[in-house]
Structure 1
Amino acid sequence: MRVAITGASGLIGRALEASLLDDGHTVVRMVRRLPRVQHTPGVEEAEWRPEQGRVDTVALHETDAVVHLAGAPVGPALWTRHRRALIRRSRVRGTRTLCQALAGMDRPPPRLLSASGMHYYGDTDGRTATEDSPPGTGFLAGVCRDWEEATAPAVEAGLSVALMRTSVVLDRSGGMLRPLLPLYRVGLGGRLGSGTQYMSWIAMRDHVGALRFLLEHPEITGPVNMCAPEPVSNADFTRALGRALGRPAFLPVPATAMRAALGDFAEETALIDLRAVPERLLKAGYSFALPTIDRALSDILARPVPSTGA
């Protein structure tokens, strides 16, 4: 296959690229600068500048699929008005620009996997969300709705479009887990707030596996929950990480302190109750390599940290 990736330099993009290259596929990195000649076998570059409405569609000819992962980091940070605008704009404008460009091609790539977020469901308040559950409320839920709607030009042009509602991705080289490991190793880990709030998560190994599965199954369209089948409470996650590292984890972080330091970011991420299951992946036949938090953490911690994540 020939697969174009936006956000190829990010945590998920790097892992997906490595997986594709290992199996002999060609990767086209979509970059926001002039492309460079690549000396890595199987890797090409193509320019896209979503803020200027520019996409090098010539480089996308004879491409089998586009995996759209680009978007400004959500945090941890205070959500100032400027930060909120950047989070929304980088996702909605970038997705719309890409999809309009694909729709305008004579022979566009037939498959598009476009990132979205599990926060589409907002606070599930103990209920279990599937892909058929309604959208929630809040800033991130609104961003996710607009983000998904921005793929409309590609859908209307006849592309097979899957919307990847991604949960917390666990990996040693980045994301949520990387800053937690040093704290837990010295016994400073603990639950956040009450610890009763649920967290949907997925190991990087399964996230890449599910991406590859979706590339191979273009009949799967619409929203797809990219999460493990067993969500856990924050307290359960805390205990599991402590067990995996052989360290105690008994220093809770009060919710009031998190709200004071991070405001709405804390309220809509670390303290939100978000319990979802990957109903569509399971029904389609995807088999999770790491379906439980204990197995996932043991596997992740046994793997070396890639040099690219340093």
Structure 2
Amino acid sequence: QKGVKVAFRLSLFKIPMLWEAEHIDYQANKEFKDRQIKGPFSKWEHTHTFIPDGTGASIMEDHVEFKLPFGFLSQPFYRFAKKDFERMFSYRHRVLKYDLEHHVDATKKKRILISGASGTIGTILVPFLRTCGHDVIRLVRKEGKLLNDELFWDPYNGVLDLDKAGPIDAVINLNGVDISRGRWTKKQKKRIIDSRIMTTQVLVKKMSELEHKPSVFISSSAIGFYGEGEDRILSETTDRGKCFISRVCRQWEEASMDAETHGIRTIQLRIGVVLTPAGGALKRMELPFKLGCGVKLSHGRQYMSWISMDDVLSGVLYLLNNSDIKGPVNLVAPNPVTNSEFSKTLARVFSKKVIFTLPKFVALGLWGQMGKETLLTSARVAPEKLLDNGFLFQHETLFPALKDMLGRQD
């Protein structure tokens, strides 16, 4: 709407800053325009235009007028800024096209409850599902005044009133603290366990008490379930591993299984290494590799089972709508790679080379058990259940996935 102002934070050259924008024009189904009030540019005016192109189709056009700060001193930087803008808008248009293709196939509207909505996956999944036409309710732990789409809960004290949410068709559980942050002390291990098991138990208990229960419960797990797999192909029927994170995943999945006894279709989502510059492994790796300082971990022969964020989103949507699928599901791309291959491919995206190797003893010295189980363990995981049920991946191989996720398309 005209006159509406929006403020958001961004990072420019790793420097956090506030950007304030105002919508200065709006023409329904035709265009809208915004301009910078406060931010990194001397001038920024962006017009979004939508041009009809036959039945059920349109052309989206972005027109940007901008000026860099510091007057004539910034002239040498204009070509770099223009290149970055072209890359950004190319990425946005690709993502929009991809999302719209899924919206065309969307089934009837659902009311979906999501825990862990503020995490790396949740912050992207929520708007994706909403633009598909679904209502999304986010579980939050802040007390006080809540937004219309928020519902308070305190899982560590068993507090959750699902009746306040109204009828719920599906529940997606994405809870769990990041396991890759720092060494696994006794205190951290307890946080890893409690943030997964206790939250899942509360969700299942509260769902079981509803008169009208959701039809599907999708609960996170991880490919850490399999532990050290060496070069064996690991499917949903493979036994769990013996390491700490394998035991955690097993307890996590067992906590979700109780929902099945109440007639709720339940899926344990064994998620691989999610590729997105918004968080996780790729966010931490992007800058070093871009600067030509990418590394291979140890001998580099350990397998990494990755998946693009695009395929995480469409995979979750597919599982919501496919009533034939239940039980454990490997959410990974069909072509895992070794750590050495991953490092070389990421370096190639930035036209760099991998020239460093991080020895095993250094990784163990820095991160201990966490480094051993998340960085040095091999997991060659296959998405058998998704493939057998006809799911089509947007990104089957690594190089195009990385180029898309990082906006590096030619």
TM superposition score category, shorter chain reference:
over 0.9
The reply to whether residue 19 of structure 1 matches residue 124 of structure 2 is: no
Letter in 2 for 1:21: R
Question: Aligned-pair distance for 1:303?
Answer: 7.3
Q: CA deviation at 1:240?
A: 0.4
Map Cα deviations across residues 171-210 of structure 1 (whole Å, 9 max, x no partner). Answer: 0111100111110111110210110000101000000110
2:297 match: secondary structure: coil
SS at match of 1:11: coil
Letter of the structure 1 residue corresponding to residue 210 of structure 2: M
1:92 aligns with 2:197: yes
Q: Tell me, yes or no, if the aligned pair for 2:257 and 2:266 is still in contact at 8 Å.
A: no
For residues 144 and 268 of structure 1, do their structure 2 counterparts lie closer, same or farther at Cα, with a shift above 3 Å needed? Answer: same
Under a length normalisation based on structure 2, what TM-score does the superposition of the two structures give?
A: 0.72
Determine which structure has more spread, i.e. the larger CA radius of gyration.
Answer: 2
Counterparts of residues 68-79 of structure 1 (less than 5 Å): 68-79=173-184
The aligned residue for residue 136 of structure 1 is 241
Q: Residues 217-232 of structure 1: matches in 2 within 5 Å?
A: 217-232=322-337
2:31 corresponds in structure 1 to none
- Letter in structure 2 aligned against 1:28: I
Structure 1 position 218, deviation (Å):
2.5
Counterparts in 2 of 1:111-150, with a 5 A limit? 111-150=216-255
- Greater than 6 Å deviation, 4+ residue runs: none
Q: Aligned-pair distance for 1:28? A: 0.1
Question: Contact 1:213–1:286 at 8 Å: present in 2 too?
Answer: yes
Equivalent of 1:287 in 392, 395, 398: 392
For the residue of structure 2 that corresponds to 1:150, the secondary structure is helix
Aligned length in residues: 300
8 A contact 1:61–1:109 mirrored in 2: no
Identity fraction in percent? 34
Larger RCO (CA under 8 A, 6+ residues apart): 1
Report the Cα offset of residue 60 of structure 1. Answer: 3.6
Alignment of structure 1 residues 191-202 onto 2, 5 Å: 191-202=296-307
Q: What is aligned with 2:279?
A: 174
Partners of 2:128 and 2:145 in 1: CA distance: 22
More strand by share: 2
Question: 1:160 Cα deviation (Å)?
Answer: 0.5
* 1:159 equivalent in structure 2: 264
Gaps of 5+ in 2: 1-109
SS in 2 for 1:63: coil
Q: What CA distance in whole angstroms lies between the structure 2 residues aligned with 1:36 and 1:208?
A: 30
Partner of 2:172: 67
Q: Deviations over 1:142-191 (max 9, x none)?
A: 00000000013311111010110001100011110011111011111021
1:239 and 2:344 correspond? yes
Q: TM-score, normalised on structure 1? A: 0.94
For 2:100, the equivalent position in structure 1 comes to none
Does the CA contact (< 8 Å) of 2:349 and 2:408 recur in 1? no
Q: Tell me how far apart the structure 2 counterparts of residues 291 and 49 of structure 1 sit (CA, whole Å).
A: 39
Q: Relative to structure 1, is the Cα distance of residues 246 and 36 closer, same or farther in structure 2, using a 3 angstrom cutoff?
A: farther
Q: Tell me if the contact between 1:164 and 1:226 (Cα under 8 Å) persists in the aligned partners.
A: yes
Measure, in 2, the Cα distance between the counterparts of 1:295 and 1:21. 27
Structure 1: gaps (5+ residues): 305-310
Contact 1:155-1:161 at 8 Å conserved across structures: yes
Query: Contact between 2:115 and 2:138, CA under 8 Å: does it hold in 1?
Result: yes
Q: Match for residue 113 of structure 2?
A: 4
State how far apart, in whole Å, the 2-side matches of 1:203 and 1:76 are: 21
Following the alignment from structure 2 to structure 1, what is the Cα–Cα distance between the partners of residues 143 and 284?
Answer: 33
Query: Which residue type is aligned with residue 361 of structure 2?
Result: T
2:314 alignment partner, one of 202, 209, 213: 209
Aligned twin of 1:261: 366
Equivalents in 2 of 1:125, 1:25: separation in Å? 41
| Cα distance in 1 for residues equivalent to 2:180 and 2:403 | 26
Between the aligned partners of 2:164 and 2:176, the Cα distance in structure 1 is 21
Q: Residue in 1 aligned with 2:13?
A: none
Spell out, residue by residue over 1:231-278, the C-alpha distance to the aligned partner (whole angstroms, 9 max, x if none). Answer: 000000001001111112111111110000100001001000111010
Distance 1:240 1:175 in 2: 18
Q: CA separation in 1, counterparts of 2:146 and 2:225?
A: 39
Q: Tell me, what secondary structure is at the counterpart of 1:230?
A: coil
